[in-house]
Structure 1
Amino acid sequence: MLETNLERIKHNLETLSSFNSTPGKGYTRLSFSSEHRKALDFLSKACESMGFEVMIDPVGNFRAKLKGSDPGAPPIMCGSHIDTVLYGGKLDGAAGVVAALEALTVIKEQNVPIRHSLEFIAFVEEEGASFGGGLIGSKALVGKYTVEDLKNLTNDEGLSFYEAAKNFGLNPDELEDYVLRKGDVKALLELHIEQGNVLYTKSIPLGIVEAIVGIKQLAVTLTGKANHAGTTPMNLRRDALVAASNIISFVEHCAKHEAFDTTVATVGKIWCFPNVTNVIPGKVTFTIDIRDIKTEGIQRVEQLIKEEVKRISDERGLQYSVNLVGESDPVKLSEKVVSVIQRVAEKLNVNFLRMNSGAGHDSALLTEVTDVGMIFVPSIEGISHAPEEDTEYEDLKTGCDVLLNALVDLAQ
């Protein structure tokens, strides 16, 4: 069995994490930022030095190909996302990017014969930290987003994804030429940190993902009346923030008591206007993130929340809107690929757990066009999307070794 190089993994991960706009406060590498550019330049140089074919597609997905012996055979993709959340950790996405780079590097260095080409991909805007919704690079790649959709995805400053890509030197108008169809790719493998504490608490070094949760993200806006905090009697107020607080509490209640034990819901972002100490809030917008491995759980919570938004708004004399920000369906991964990963883990004598993913991933979108498998490595204390996010390097290397050998198996 082949083995990856731990020191090179460390070096590449530390280099990638140095492209960070918030040093000392966590890791931030937003799509189309200067840090994103530096990361792409680093990957390009590393891949070109190994003789891989390098390109960046019209929406910003980085791709590098190691050619197989059969030019007519569909390639196998591997990788993860290159962007981060604000003030996040250095491993989310980056671990899978470095793992894929390392796997292709070892295969090239050792002249391992492969029939199918291997294509390393670093997805753009998985997190949605800039343009909302998330999974934009993978959605565009499988035809879920059109050019017009990209023009309607905007950041907090009103700049669209389309405009940002153009400013970055890309041509999103060519997107259609790069959309993947069934048969274009044999399989996709992604290594990722678990972002939960199942593997860590069980002291299991490897997770083999069987299914990925569905996600629905909503934006709720409540509009009341801004007014003087001292001269407006309590019974005459149309306070949007108080109404929002009631709904937010109801969101927690729904996820806990009205759906399944696999259902979770989170309010993670709030805008309050005018956001002044002595003014009654006249308008509030907040996001709701609903997740479940069961579609019914997501639908149930969404329905109850919409009913409660209407009830509270009517009761308090507020106007309201509930808008869809983004969604992805729960998906089962390919048993064919899962079995390959399991077989490799058994050959390497690696203890593993077959499990579900509570986080959304680009891999979920690729299930529409190809067979997909995911490998999890443990997150220390289950922490992710925070500066403290970490994984033991030995566990990361174990995951990289499994990824490497699974790719070789599939590429024959």
Structure 2
Amino acid sequence: MTSLADIAGVGADPRRGGYSRHGFDRVELELRSWFTEEAGRRGLSVECDRNGNLWAWWGAPGDGAVVTGSHLDSVPGGGAFDGPLGVVAALEAVDVLRARGFVPGKPFAVVVFAEEEGGRFGVACLGSRLLTGAISADAALRLSDSDGVTLAEAVRSAGLDPSRVGPDAEALRRIGVFVELHVEQGRGLVDLGAPVGVASSILAHGRWRFSISGEGNHAGATLMVDRRDPMVAAAQVVLAARRAATAVEGARATVGRLIPNPGGTNVIPSSVDLWLDARADDDARTRAVVAEITAVASEVAAEEGCVVTVSEESYGDTVVFDVGLRDSVSGVLGGVPALPTGAGHDAGILAGHVPTAMLFVRNPTGVSHAPEEFAEADDCAAGVVALASVLEELAR
């Protein structure tokens, strides 16, 4: 827990609580410097790829490497463990392996993926999506944050060349197998009484932007019957999301971000943007939920004299992790439980290209993406030892 304590003051959010650490902002760049220093202290050589992902190599870089790691960014007001625990555990696993006298028989690296949460530019797992070609470079570079700063401008400020952003066949070829440790985002391990588990699958999930345009006007001078208020339509879309997801077993739909323009207390907004996060067991169910919400949005917008446009910002189909690797990992750990997860991860993006596995560490609160997210020190230590044992087996 010492390494987590070292970065406990970086990105603390006094307004929201928890942490706000976003891709290529000042805070995340400070964390990247911390990682580079920690890796160097262990004799690992660090390089940054064309998409801003950091690679710390134990020995010489090479193809078919055993790779572990996670991310350092967070959602706005996120917890201390989502992402950083996987990075810290990877570094600590190197220490454990060295203490055992182990020397990798294959190339070995610890990776930090850029902008995993999408908290700044809206697209989750941006670093791994760019690496694998899951998003085009042009589309990614046009993304902008709430201040209008584009990804192209952000990476340039971080010392990267925007013209080189995009699919990276060389980096992908270097990954022979990827294992990501993560705090569990739910209560599966709590209910099973297990400190560590493995992931079996990730729900199909995506993000959609609903832009509703109406007519801005004076809150006091405009009669109710004369209004074309996009906020009224937006409110009904939020409620429709709850109804649509509740009607499909296992589905989840969330509107966690809504921005009115211009945003004045005594102003009828001229437009409202809201973002829908929708997830379900498979592609068909996920898209059925979104289709239902979209139909309601069109209907309520028309009733209010408004216009709505819907755009898909990111999407990932159901991920089933490599069964052979999952069973091998579970066997190394004495048969720990396998759990599905509703949370997306860089491991899920890589799973379509290389054998990928995930380890979960028990979260006693079951809360994630919030300040109450937690993991006990003993469980974190068990996760480090488990990760080290898995890496040792894979890197013989």
TM-score, normalising length: structure 2: 0.94
When residues 179 and 161 of structure 1 are mapped into structure 2, their CA distance, relative to the original with a 3 A threshold, is farther
Partners of 2:139 and 2:337 in 1: how far apart?
A: 38
Report SS of the residue matched to 2:117: coil
Residue 59 of structure 2 aligns with which residue? Answer: 67
Query: Do the aligned partners of 1:180 and 1:369 also contact (CA within 8 Å) in 2?
Result: no
Residue 314 of structure 1 aligns with which residue? Answer: 302
Residue 30 of structure 1 aligns with which residue? Answer: 22
Residue 34 of structure 2 aligns with which residue? Answer: 42
Indicate yes or no: 2:346 matched with 1:362.
yes
Mapping for residues 106-255 of structure 1, pairs under 5 Å: 106-175=96-165, 178-179=168-169, 184-255=174-245
Partners of 1:288 and 1:181 in 2: how far apart?
A: 32
How far apart are residue 177 of structure 1 and its match? 7.5
Residue 88 of structure 1 aligns with which residue? Answer: 78
What is the percentage of aligned positions where both structures have the same residue? 30
Q: Deviations over 1:216-267 (max 9, x none)?
A: 111111111222333433222211111111121111000001x2x2210000
Report SS of the residue matched to 2:35: helix
Report SS of the residue matched to 1:211: strand
Indicate yes or no: 2:390 matched with 1:406.
yes
Partners of 1:231 and 1:46 in 2: how far apart?
A: 61
Query: Do the aligned partners of 2:204 and 2:318 also contact (CA within 8 Å) in 1?
Result: yes
Mapping for residues 337-352 of structure 1, pairs under 5 Å: 337-346=325-334, 352=336
Please tell me the residue identity of whatever aligns with 2:81. Answer: L
Report SS of the residue matched to 1:210: strand
Q: Deviations over 1:24-83 (max 9, x none)?
A: 832122222222222222221221222212111122211101137xx8661011001110
When residues 220 and 73 of structure 1 are mapped into structure 2, their CA distance, relative to the original with a 3 A threshold, is closer
Report SS of the residue matched to 2:293: helix
Query: Do the aligned partners of 1:58 and 1:173 also contact (CA within 8 Å) in 2?
Result: no
Please tell me the residue identity of whatever aligns with 1:22. Answer: D
How far apart are residue 278 of structure 1 and its match? 2.9
Unaligned runs of 5+ in 2: none
Residue 356 of structure 2 aligns with which residue? Answer: 372
Q: Deviations over 1:116-175 (max 9, x none)?
A: 111100111001111102110110111223432232111111111121011011224234
Partners of 1:61 and 1:181 in 2: how far apart?
A: 10
Query: Do the aligned partners of 2:54 and 2:113 also contact (CA within 8 Å) in 1?
Result: yes
Match of 2:268 among 266, 280, 292: 280
Residue 337 of structure 2 aligns with which residue? Answer: 353
Report SS of the residue matched to 1:288: strand
How far apart are residue 113 of structure 1 and its match? 3.3
Please tell me the residue identity of whatever aligns with 1:87. Answer: G
Indicate yes or no: 2:318 matched with 1:330.
yes
When residues 294 and 215 of structure 1 are mapped into structure 2, their CA distance, relative to the original with a 3 A threshold, is same
Residue 391 of structure 1 aligns with which residue? Answer: 375
Query: Do the aligned partners of 1:16 and 1:94 also contact (CA within 8 Å) in 2?
Result: no
Which is worse superposed, 140-149 or 380-389?
Answer: 140-149
Q: Deviations over 1:333-375 (max 9, x none)?
A: 01122112211221xxxx7321101100010110122000001
Residue 5 of structure 1 aligns with which residue? Answer: none
When residues 311 and 164 of structure 1 are mapped into structure 2, their CA distance, relative to the original with a 3 A threshold, is same
Measured on the aligned residues, the alpha-carbon RMSD in Å equals 2.0
Count of residues in Structure 1 that have an aligned counterpart in Structure 2: 395
Partners of 1:96 and 1:187 in 2: how far apart?
A: 16
Report SS of the residue matched to 1:84: coil
Report SS of the residue matched to 1:218: strand
Q: Deviations over 1:314-334 (max 9, x none)?
A: 222211111112111211001
Query: Do the aligned partners of 1:27 and 1:387 also contact (CA within 8 Å) in 2?
Result: yes
Unaligned runs of 5+ in 1: 1-9
Report SS of the residue matched to 2:284: helix
Partners of 1:407 and 1:376 in 2: how far apart?
A: 15
Please tell me the residue identity of whatever aligns with 1:15. Answer: D
When residues 233 and 60 of structure 1 are mapped into structure 2, their CA distance, relative to the original with a 3 A threshold, is same
How far apart are residue 103 of structure 1 and its match? 1.2
Please tell me the residue identity of whatever aligns with 2:292. Answer: L
Report SS of the residue matched to 2:291: helix
Query: Do the aligned partners of 2:182 and 2:360 also contact (CA within 8 Å) in 1?
Result: yes
Partners of 2:313 and 2:267 in 1: how far apart?
A: 29
Report SS of the residue matched to 2:277: strand
Report SS of the residue matched to 1:390: coil
Partners of 1:285 and 1:180 in 2: how far apart?
A: 38
Report SS of the residue matched to 2:110: strand
Please tell me the residue identity of whatever aligns with 1:149. Answer: A
